[in-house]
Structure 1
Amino acid sequence: MSDPTDNALPNPALDLCSEEEVTGLVHDFYARVREEPRLGPVFTARIHDWDAHLAQLVDFWSAMLRGTRRFKGAPMPKHMAMDELDRDLFDRWLALFRQTTAECGNPPMQRLADDVAERIADTFWRRFQMLRWPSLPMAGRPGVN
């Protein structure tokens, strides 16, 4: 009989994954993002220094997965200023992220990263909707299932 805690969501921890795994995940994922037909142009139009952006994203994901505290930033305002966002972009971002984590070879890291990514996508999309369509109930907003 399998242990029901095998699929429990792990907490961020230094022993969950290595910095190399975090760096690999971030670099692999954003290489895929840049090639994705809809996501690529959105990112390319806004990010002019990929090295600096990737370093900041490694710091962010290290904080989320390993509990480090290097990340300094406020991603919400920059994303909310992007008029071209739509539900399809969030869905593509999340699907591509899950595809990347599924190939990382570290199931506990995958579970936590996927959970964090899902919460990020949901939070950003809900905030985006509230800013764009403040008078509509959530059920009436474009892209809400």
Structure 2
Amino acid sequence: MDAPHVLCTEEEITALVHRFYDRIRQHPNLGPIFNGHIDDWPAHLDRLVDFWSSVLLRTGRFSGAPMPKHVALPGLNAELFRQWLALWRTTAAEQANPALAEQAVAAAERIAQSLWMGYQAYAQGVDVPQSL
């Protein structure tokens, strides 16, 4: 019996996340937002690697509710979400593993759409539940 296909390695996820957030930190529009809200980048990167490992490999290493943290940020707009996605797409496309790139981009698009919808609902005074 063949072994199940594994999308990527943990090392590939770590490389993608670290490269992407290195770029985020330098980005003229996104950098100030992230740098202004993240005090401990190494710990945050570890958490993000856990998040993407859970998304891409279904490891279950991440627990938490990203929505409340994101909707609490002031002044976000659709263009900032588009810039985040464009940078993620570029960084993912540079990875040597095209299957990882494809899945990472598809997941990021769903996540960004969900966060943007939640952000808009919160801005309009609609209560955004932490979970169902």
TM-score, normalization: structure 1? 0.81
List alignment gaps of at least 5 residues for structure 1.
1-12, 136-145
Cα deviation 1:72-127 (Å, max 9, x = unaligned): 22111010001121111100000000000000111111111001100111111111
1:66 is displaced (CA, Å) by: 1.1
Correspondence 1:54 to 2:37: no
Q: Could you say which residue in structure 2 is the equivalent of 1:83?
A: 74
CA distance in 2, matches of 1:14, 1:26: 22
Correspondence 1:93 to 2:87: no
Q: Could you say which residue in structure 1 is the equivalent of 2:12?
A: 21
| Higher alpha-carbon Rg | 1
For the structure 1 residues 59 and 45, does the alpha-carbon distance in structure 2 shift closer, same or farther, using more than 3 Å as the test?
A: same
| Of 100, 118, 123, the match for 1:109 | 100
Runs of 4+ in structure 1 deviating by more than 4 angstroms, as ranges, are none
Q: Could you say which residue in structure 1 is the equivalent of 2:130?
A: none
List alignment gaps of at least 5 residues for structure 2.
127-132
The letter for the 2-side match of 1:79 is H
1:133 is displaced (CA, Å) by: 2.6
Please give the root-mean-square deviation of Cα atoms over the aligned residues, in Å.
1.5
